[in-house]
Amino acid sequence: MPAGWVVVRTSEAQLLERARASYAALSSEIRQKKARLDVRLFGAPGTPLKAVFSSDGESVTVRSEVTLSVADKRPLDLASLREHLGKLGETPFVLGNVDVSALSAGLFLPVSEQNHVRQEAVEQLMMRRDWARDATLADRRAVIDAAVSAIDVSRPAPVDTKLSLSAQVYRIEDGEAAGSAGATEVCFDPFLRHPTPPVARIRALQAKLADQGVTLRLRTPTIVRPEERKSIQKWLDLGLPMLSGHLGLVHELAGQGRDVVADYAVNAFNAHTAAEVFRLGARRIVASVELTTEELSQLVEPWSGRGFDVFVYGRPEGMTIEHCVLSAAFDRETKTCRDLCVQKHPNVELTDPMGYTFPVATDSACRNRLLHSRPIDGSEFLPKLWRAGIRGYQMVFNVPGDDIASIIRGYRSALDALAEGTRPDIDAVRRVVGAEFTRGHFARAV
């Protein structure tokens, strides 16, 4: 590291090794929580040993096959009984209290018989635990099945099933290129990087796209605190359709009758979440980017795919960082160092120990949005998504250098072919993107 840099250690091999060793040294009872097992013993000379074993509200009674006799030596006492009854090994129990108040003194029972009593009791208790667990699981499955079958599918209202291909951009020229290349909608994020563009230029872009039959939509930040509301209000006042991962804004704007799409940040993983987001007023929902193709099909199935968009191309926002990496690197005060992100370092990247490089967008609130190291490309999964009834597709262009026009044309061509019932050229996008992409979670679960 160059002299003068501040270096923060975030991992130390020796410390981690000591932590692992200390955990391994713990007894198994501590590492794996076990149920307490209490025992009450009854008996007199000439009778079987009666033992009542109790754990977690369940009790079983076991009697020895050999009767108790008067001891010549080594009579049963509390210490020896605890020793033999406590040999519970890898069972889910640990010996608790042993009550010998009802057991006559000076008695003898072979060790093998004591072990037999313990083993028989443990086997019965474990069987009862299995029954109880199976009953609980059956009840849980019944509740889940009932809930799944009771999903409110009254929303979205019947909508046109025509194709929606949305291109998300942050530069005016990219919006123009997306509209000309075949996007049915351009979603503009004015907050992604400093500086935000003039409102007049957004109005001009809206008019130009409208002449091409293309809708303009605005994307809000996912994080908007009450004190930050004023900074986005002028954009909300434009009255344009909106895309937002901020659930409160989705509900508020939809309540005003606005056309609002819920972004992937609302985490619609299942149909229950989707039903609630629709209830809050979203016209469409961008499904979670962490779902496989099969899971996406299950998510949209109650609505036959209507009202859903899928993120098929681009770099999702992996996280939002409150503390600006640029101001920290140059030892500057946050919010007074915009010359760094606007002029000197408009394109910031972080590289992890594995060598993957992650673009960082310094947004209008001086937060850093950490983007995926490689763009997701789901072009090969378009036929499956189409068969699931999905007609909305989202492409995100949030870093410089993407061949926006070619990528959009590739997706539009493939989707038009699917709409016509012909074989799509699903390799068209890959020929443009090359090898630097990921299939994301389309093919593998989280």
Per-residue pLDDT of the chain (446 residues; tens, 9 = 90+): 788 888 888 888 899 899 888 877 776 555 567 899 999 999 999 999 999 999 988 999 999 999 999 998 889 999 999 999 999 988 999 999 999 999 999 999 999 999 999 999 999 999 998 898 899 999 999 998 888 778 888 776 555 568 999 999 999 999 999 999 999 999 999 999 988 899 999 999 999 999 999 999 999 999 999 999 998 999 999 999 999 999 999 999 999 999 999 999 999 999 999 999 999 999 999 999 999 999 999 999 999 999 999 999 999 999 999 888 888 889 888 878 888 888 888 888 999 988 899 999 999 888 999 999 999 999 999 999 999 999 999 999 999 989 999 999 999 999 999 999 999 998 889 999 888 899 888 887 66
Is 392:309 a contact under the CB 8 Å cutoff?
yes
Domain spans of the chain? 34-149, 164-316+372-433
What is the model's pLDDT at position 436? 85
Residues paired with residue 60 on neighbouring β-strands, in sequence order: 53
What is the model's pLDDT at position 20? 86
What is the model's pLDDT at position 224? 93
Closest to 394 in 3D by CA, of 318, 319, 328, 316: 316
What is the model's pLDDT at position 159? 56
What residues have CB less than 8 Å from 306, skipping those under 6 apart? 156, 158, 159, 161, 300, 389, 391
Q: For domain 164-316+372-433, give the CATH superfamily.
A: Aldolase class I (3.20.20.70)
What is the model's pLDDT at position 90? 85
Is 55:93 a contact under the CB 8 Å cutoff?
yes
